Structure 1
Amino acid sequence: MTSGIFPSVPSVPGKETGEAASTSTATLSNTSSATSATSATHVDLEPPHVRDTIKSLLLTPHIEGGYYALTDSSPTLIPSPYPLTSLSENTLQLVGGLRPDFDPAVRRASSSILYYLTPRSPVGSFHRNRSRIVHTLHRGRGCYVLIHPDRRVETFVVGCEIQCGEKLQWAVDGGVWKASYLLPNQDATSRCLDVHDEELLISETVVPGFEYADHEFLSKDKLSQLLPEELAERYGWLVKH
């Protein structure tokens, strides 16, 4: 993959830009709809080892970019801490609506997915969730960009070079806008980097469990409202919908 599509990343992982505008499922609803919404992603164009990973883990295209598979959905139901109304009608239109048995008054206690960024689908576009999400690295390397509710921008690198400040595990609170993208492999001898191509394989655990009712994509207009012009231009390529 040509690394030129990537902007420069912070030299020290965990950097916060600090600029404000004046200067972190239950069963994924309508999975087939979310998959068709990202039909431009073609698994057969991925490198062989990536195709093998997608096949072995039963991954399908994710509406945010990349691939995913639901791996756990807690059977425990809890009262929903969220408003009964969905966060974004745009998201619901993109995924074909809420799952038929969805009850807005309750949530699963937790849910987990595998999430995979690849050479042909290297970006997880800006979005936010109402629930808190804990991310765990399995292999690969990437960069995360967060826009906090106070409009502070935080960027950090996830990977196995922990002596350089790269993260093996990270949490993103509900309400934080989040995007991610692959980074070129700098050290093919690293234990969690594949020698063939860039990739990023992680787990995400969502508490309370994920529902598309709690999901929203960031728009270009909203990005311009949140950030100064320079930053909005810098990160605009991470906006998908």
Structure 2
Amino acid sequence: MRDWQRQLGLEAHPEGGYFQRIYTSPHTVPTPAGTRPTATSIHYLLTRDAPRGHLHRNRSDILHFLIDGGPVEYVMLTPDHAVERVTLQSGTRHFLMVPGGVWKASHLVGDAAQALVAEVVTPGFDFADHRFATPADVAGLPADLRLALAPFLPGTSHPPPD
């Protein structure tokens, strides 16, 4: 197993896991929240010691490409309040697009030791466009949806269901 964290110089990510920005477009585009690069990209790594990315949303679309490891499952709360689960796994599905404004989280599945993902954000990422979910954000959802999303709220310690 490759030590991607050391090899790529990844740092702890506020969402969970590890990351390193690898590209910021020199071109910009106006958005309602201000000027943003047309695209940014990161390497994002989940490991056994950091197996989960917390529930959050971004204004921009995010493209996810599984590079190594996995499987890794993405859990999304769709605009019509359904939970959608998509698993990226080598040899089957290795790409996912999450539209801007959609709540999403991720976690390693089964006995996966790690998952290295490249993400492309367009328009480019800015922390002003990012928000972590709070218990208040899911409080009005039906009990089954609150239960499905609870493991991904920042500050929770119980593992997500496999």
Q: TM-score, normalised by structure 1?
A: 0.61
Q: Who is 1:178 aligned against?
A: 104
Q: Deviations over 1:184-210 (max 9, x none)?
A: 24xxxxxxxxxxx61110000000000
Structure 2, unmatched stretches of 5+, are 156-162
Which structure has more relative contact order (CA 8 Å, sep 6+)? It is 1
- Return the letter of the residue paired with 2:48: P
- Return the letter of the residue paired with 1:76: H
Percent identity over paired residues: 36
Q: Deviations over 1:190-236 (max 9, x none)?
A: xxxxxxx61110000000000001000111121122x2112202320
Q: Who is 1:57 aligned against?
A: 8
Q: Who is 2:66 aligned against?
A: 137
CA shift, 1:120, in A, is: 0.3
Structure exhibiting the larger radius of gyration computed from Cα positions: 1
- Return the letter of the residue paired with 1:145: V
Partner SS state of residue 64, structure 2: strand
Query: Which of residues 127, 145, 154 is equivalent to 2:84?
Result: 154
- Return the letter of the residue paired with 1:178: K
Whether the 8 Å CA contact 2:11–2:18 is kept in 1: the answer is yes
Q: Which has the higher helix share?
A: 1
Whether the 8 Å CA contact 1:148–1:175 is kept in 2: the answer is no
Tell me the distance in 1 between the aligned counterparts of 2:90 and 2:7: 23
1:231 maps onto 2:145 in alignment: yes
Structure 1, unmatched stretches of 5+, are 1-48, 84-104, 186-196
Tell me the distance in 2 between the aligned counterparts of 1:217 and 1:148: 16
CA RMSD of aligned residues (A): 1.4
Query: Which of residues 125, 131, 134 is equivalent to 2:54?
Result: 125
Q: Which has the higher strand share?
A: 2
- Return the letter of the residue paired with 1:58: G
Q: Which moved more, 1:214-223 or 1:60-69?
A: 214-223
